[in-house]
Amino acid sequence: MTATGATGRPVARPDLVLRRVGSEWVLYDAAREKAHVLNLTAAVIWTYCDGSFERASIADAIVREVPGLDATRIKDDIDEVLRRFADEGLLR
Amino acid sequence: MRVRRIAVAPQVLEFASDDPFAARALDALYHAAPATAQAPTLRYGLRRSGPGEPGGYVATSPARAPFGPAALGDAWAFLEWRATEDLLGGADRENVFLHAGGAELGTRLALIVGDSGAGKSTLVAHLMQRGHRMLGDDVVRFATAEGRFSAVGRSLKLDPKSLPGLPLIAGKCAAGVVGTLLAAGCYYVSPAAIRRSWQAPAARPWAVVLLDAGRRGGPGGVERASAGEAAVYVTQKVLGDAADGAAGRKDVTVSILESLADVAAYRAIGSDPAAVAEALEREAAA
């Protein structure tokens, strides 16, 4: 199964709703009546899942946006977060 | 026949009884809610069994077969259960009711959530005894368009074992102050019997307080919890089926999440509700 669309670019399900709650984020899946708590990194990654970013370019963009991040580590985080998104059926 | 209609917008509840003691019990349940002459949307009755029926009491409620004849305590318990469930399912496009409690600490609204028996009522009672206004005991209203929680005038249901830690309320119960009633092994205490201005104004919550039924003993207090997890608890567990009659579960859930955007979350620790109330006061004042 591809979790990142035919082009290898992750695509979020458009029916999901992301809202900030305190310092965390909640991703609400109405179709499955389920809600997921995301940390800031996962929430930022989610915003790049619009089909126009490859994994590597997501990492580059986040490193550019958030100075001081370890580029290697963020790539690992992205892989892990995208795998979880896929496992939970949050990507198209 | 004594009939009392009270407004818990958008619902109008009617309670009727031909028995003076049962009528007093019915009065106690929503004592603080305003009386109204509007047509009822939910009707409840508690009457003595009639000729040819076994002795006891019969409880009636919307869309249910009559319960009884049974002992007064059992008939009352049925009626209270139905009056709560009907209200929790009694949403319209603008309002939903949630199974939660809450109080206003200073100008900050705390939404108190947890399973049945976790101690919501007792904590609300402690906060009221300390001078705070009530959002609700078992039921609170959420206005979906405004994204604000508001008070429901349902009486606090208190275990007699909790009263020794609540001298102000215990004194009123002992004195039989109007709005207090011992029924079926618990006290029903109207917030209006505790303080005249009991009602917290509608607001977005400052905090969600999670009460776990299995809290350990020891020094009580609160610890910070995940706001995200608290929001998920409110939208998934507390909201329950209540949104089904409202504008739509998705819209209600999103509206609640947005109302919790700046919320803090706390988990109560220890078994002393007075210590939890005191700790919450400190957090609200910080």
In a shared domain, residues B42 and B101: no
In a shared domain, residues B161 and B233: yes
In a shared domain, residues B83 and B99: no
**Count: domains in chain B:** 2
In a shared domain, residues B132 and B184: yes
In a shared domain, residues B9 and B134: no
Mutation for testing the A interface, residue in B233, B238, B250 having most A CBs under 10 Å: B250
In a shared domain, residues B142 and B239: yes
CATH number, domain with residue B214: 3.40.50
pLDDT at A27 over 90: yes
Average pLDDT, chain B: 91
Closest CB to A26 among B228, B250, B262 = B228
Closest CB to A24 among B227, B236, B254 = B227
**ipTM summary value:** 0.86
Backbone dihedral angles phi then psi of residue A38, each to the nearest 5 degrees: -115, 145
pLDDT score, position B136 = 93
Buried b (16+ CB within 10 A) or exposed e, B124-158: bbbbbbeebbbbbbbbbbbbbeebbbbbbbbbbbb
pLDDT at A70 over 90: no
Which run of H or of E encompasses B75?
Answer: helix B72-88
* Closest CA–CA distance from residue A40 to any residue of chain B (Å): 11
Confidence of residue A1 (pLDDT cuts 50, 70, 90): very low
Chain A residues with beta carbon closer than 8 angstroms to that of B246: none
Report the pLDDT averaged over residues B122-126: 96
In a shared domain, residues B45 and B64: yes
pLDDT score, position A4 = 53
Nearest to B243 by CA among B110, B144, B136, B116: B144
Residue that finishes a domain, picked among B39, B73, B88: B88
In a shared domain, residues B62 and B145: no
Q: What is the dihedral of CA A47, A52, A57, A60, to 10 degrees?
A: -40
- pLDDT tens digit sequence for B195-208: 999 999 999 999 99
Q: Given CA atoms A82, A85, A89, A92 in this order, what sign does their dihedral have? A: negative
In a shared domain, residues B129 and B250: yes
In angstroms, the CA A21 to CA B240 distance is: 20
Residue that finishes a domain, picked among B52, B69, B88: B88
- Counting every residue written for chain B, the total comes to 286
In angstroms, the CA B180 to CA B170 distance is: 10
* Closest CA–CA distance from residue A65 to any residue of chain B (Å): 23
Instruction: Sketch out chain A's domains with CATH numbers.
Output: 17-87 (1.10.10.1150)
Contact B159, B186 (CB under 8 A): yes
* Closest CA–CA distance from residue B261 to any residue of chain A (Å): 4
Neighbours of A70 (CB within 10 A): 10
- Counting every residue written for chain A, the total comes to 92
In a shared domain, residues B253 and B140: yes
In angstroms, the CA B255 to CA B101 distance is: 19
Q: CB–CB of B236 and A33 under 8 A?
A: yes
Taking CA atoms, what residue in A is nearest to B249? A30
Range of the domain at B215: 95-285
Report the pLDDT averaged over residues A16-31: 95
Q: Does B241 touch chain A (CB under 8 A)?
A: no
Q: What amino acid is encoded at B216 in this protein? A: R
Q: Does A37 touch chain B (CB under 8 A)?
A: yes
Range of lowest pLDDT (A75-89, B45-59, B239-253): B239-253
Contact B126, B166 (CB under 8 A): yes
In a shared domain, residues B103 and B83: no
Q: CB–CB of B257 and A21 under 8 A?
A: yes
pLDDT at B240 over 90: no
